[in-house]
Amino acid sequence: MDRERESADTALSGSPAVWAGGAAVAAVLALLLAFAMVVHAGVEQGSQRRLHNSAHDTATWRCMGLATLAKRQDCLSLRAPLAVPARLATAI
């Protein structure tokens, strides 16, 4: 009976090398997940920045196409400045 209990305890506890290997695998997986999340956030920020810059350039182009200098200056003064949204400001 004692032998069965000892073998069961040994099987559940495992050797230190097994625990170290399991911990290493868990750490590598956690690092890969963190890296994937950072890359995804960077791609998303780049996409948002391109959309923002495109809208700004379109507004500038539209203002510069007006007939008179006064209308162009009025349009450009009303147009929002190239402000980077707060969530993108940290990436700059």
pLDDT tens-place string over residues 58-76: 888 888 888 888 888 888 7
Rounded Cα distance, 88 and 82, in Å: 12
Under 8 Å between Cβ of 79 and 62: no
pLDDT above 60 (res 1): no
User: CA 28 to CA 34: how far, in whole Å?
Assistant: 10
The region of weakest confidence among 14-18, 57-61, 68-72, 86-90 is: 86-90
Higher-confidence position of 31 and 81? 31
Residues 6 or more apart in contact with residue 26 via CB below 8 angstroms: none
3-state secondary structure the chain: CHHHHHHHHHHHHCCHHHHHHHHHHHHHHHHHHHHHHHHHHHHHHHHHHHHHHHHHHHHHHHHHCCCCHHHHHHHHHHCCCCCCCHHHHCCC
